């Protein structure tokens, strides 16, 4: 083989090896190294000790795990979810860490101006540094089998609420950055379902793809002052997934929240926990026909469990 032919063959191989090596190291840094580091002092220093964090869907599951972890790190909390009794229990739990807690009980499937005005009013006088849009709703069924009311509710909770809360709270994050000279943070919770075309949960997937497409551009628009992350977990052991969770890929909401917070400020998009990142990589590697078959049958099984739960 001539020198020219050898270079022609070897240069691309070398370039591909370097790209694969760098991607592998970045993956290990993001999913293995960052979550092992203590986060309390980093987050307090970056966003301001004693500043406030708003968490929606905060009384259960992933939102509760975010709120508990941030409370342990010394952030004051503005918690939003549907049921006042659950919020009150969360409030007394988290206040044990010596932080202040405000609550707003609101049904976020009711996308009225009044609903959002109540959240805005509760946040207005706070030094708000962190916003976590965690509330979400799902359904697994063939599209024509989804009741119209469920369809509207899903769009309202996942799409309207995430867009409006983000739109309402960004000025407060920017105010925090201007006044304190520190950064603000916005973490919007999507799902791995939004990263694939997912037969059997197409509506939920479309809503979560919306969240992803809304959020990632904001990371660039506000890069000077606000850390923005689109978070796409896979299955967590929460009420939403009860009875449907495949053991090998299910993690606790605490593991998911911790991993996401450890990557906030470093990445604009993440699956959070390394196990969930592997699931995403595995799904992406499957041929579409096989992936569709697998995803549809799994989604329809989940739909049967949801119907038994009365959803
Ligand atoms: N669980 C999973 O496997 C999984 C996987 C990927 C992504 N996600 C995403 O992660 C996020 C959290 O899910 P999760 O599993 O933690 O859910 P969850 O355990 O069902 O908790 C939902 C929380 O949101 C609140 N909530 C639900 N509907 C609401 C509404 N209409 N208005 C106001 N608050 C409402 C609930 O409050 P009440 O208890 O008062 O109703 C509760 O605090 C969602 O965005 C979900 O799409 C979950």
Q: Along the chain (311 residues), what's the average pLDDT of each consecutive run of 10 residues?
A: 76 89 94 92 95 98 98 97 97 95 96 94 98 97 97 97 98 98 98 97 98 98 98 94 78 97 97 97 97 96 90 73
Q: What ligand 1 atom has the least distance to the C-alpha of 153?
A: 31
Integer Cα distance of 266 and 43 in angstroms: 12
DSSP 131: E
Looking at residue 246, which CATH number applies to its domain? Answer: 3.40.50.720
The domain of 115 spans 38-308
Q: What ligand 1 atom has the least distance to the C-alpha of 253?
A: 16
Which uninterrupted H or E stretch holds 259? helix 253-263
Residue 307: both structure tokens together: 């119907």
**187 C-alpha to center of ligand 1: Å?**
15
**43 C-alpha to center of ligand 1: Å?**
24
Report if residue 22 sits inside a domain.
no
Q: What are phi and psi of 54, to 5 degrees?
A: -100, 130
Integer Cα distance of 60 and 42 in angstroms: 25
Report if residue 90 sits inside a domain.
yes
As for how many domains the chain has, the answer is 1
**Angle at which helices 161-180 and 202-221 cross, to 10°:** 20
Q: What ligand 1 atom has the least distance to the C-alpha of 192?
A: 6
Spatial neighbors of 185 by CB under 8 A, at least 6 apart, are 46, 47, 129, 130, 131, 173, 226, 227, 228, 229, 264, 265
pLDDT attached to residue 4: 77
Q: What ligand 1 atom has the least distance to the C-alpha of 189?
A: 45
Report if residue 29 sits inside a domain.
no
Report if residue 28 sits inside a domain.
no
**111 C-alpha to center of ligand 1: Å?**
16
Q: What ligand 1 atom has the least distance to the C-alpha of 58?
A: 43
Q: What are phi and psi of 186, to 5 degrees?
A: -130, 120
Are 195 and 209 contacting, i.e. CB atoms less than 8 angstroms apart?
yes
Which residues does ligand 1 sit against, CB inside 6 Å?
57-63, 81-83, 86, 107-109, 134-138, 157, 189, 191, 233, 235-236, 238-241, 253
pLDDT attached to residue 22: 92
Report if residue 30 sits inside a domain.
no
How many Cβ atoms are within 10 Å of 245's Cβ, its own excluded? Answer: 18
Report if residue 24 sits inside a domain.
no
The residue whose CA has the least distance to atom 3 of ligand 1 is 235
Report if residue 156 sits inside a domain.
yes
- The residue to mutate among 67, 81, 157, having the most atoms of ligand 1 within 8 angstroms of its beta carbon, is 81
pLDDT attached to residue 1: 66
**64 C-alpha to center of ligand 1: Å?**
9
**113 C-alpha to center of ligand 1: Å?**
22
pLDDT attached to residue 178: 98
Report if residue 114 sits inside a domain.
yes
Pseudo-torsion of CA 58, 212, 231, 127, nearest 10°? -50
């Amino acid at each position: 083989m001539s020198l020219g032919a050898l270079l022609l063959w070897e240069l691309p191989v070398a370039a591909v090896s370097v790209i694969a090596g760098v991607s592998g190291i970045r993956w290990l840094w993001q999913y293995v190294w960052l979550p092992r580091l203590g986060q309390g002092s980093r987050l307090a220093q970056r966003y301001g000790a004693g500043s406030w964090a708003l968490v929606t869907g905060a009384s259960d599951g992933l939102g509760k795990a975010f709120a508990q972890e941030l409370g342990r790190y010394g952030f004051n909390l503005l918690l939003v979810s549907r049921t006042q009794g659950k919020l009150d229990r969360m409030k007394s739990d988290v206040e044990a860490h010596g932080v202040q807690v405000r609550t707003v009980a609101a049904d976020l499937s009711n996308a009225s101006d009044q609903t959002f005005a109540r959240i805005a009013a509760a946040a207005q006088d706070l030094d708000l540094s962190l916003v976590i849009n965690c509330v979400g709703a799902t359904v697994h069924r063939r599209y024509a089998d989804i009741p119209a009311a469920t369809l509207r509710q899903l769009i309202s909770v996942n799409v309207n609420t995430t867009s409006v809360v983000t739109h309402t709270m960004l000025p407060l994050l920017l105010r925090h950055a201007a006044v304190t000279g520190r950064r603000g943070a916005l973490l919007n919770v999507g799902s791995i379902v939004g990263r694939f075309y997912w037969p059997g949960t197409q509506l939920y997937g479309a809503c979560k793809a919306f969240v992803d497409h809304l959020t990632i551009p904001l990371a660039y628009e506000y890069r000077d002052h606000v850390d923005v992350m689109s978070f796409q977990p896979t299955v967590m052991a929460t009420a939403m997934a009860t009875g449907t969770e495949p053991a090998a890929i299910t993690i606790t909401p605490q593991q998911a929240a911790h991993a996401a917070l450890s990557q906030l400020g470093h990445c604009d998009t993440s699956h959070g926990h390394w196990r969930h990142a592997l699931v995403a990589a595995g799904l992406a590697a499957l041929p579409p026909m096989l992936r569709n078959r697998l995803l549809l049958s799994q989604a329809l099984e989940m739909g049967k469990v949801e119907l038994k739960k009365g959803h």
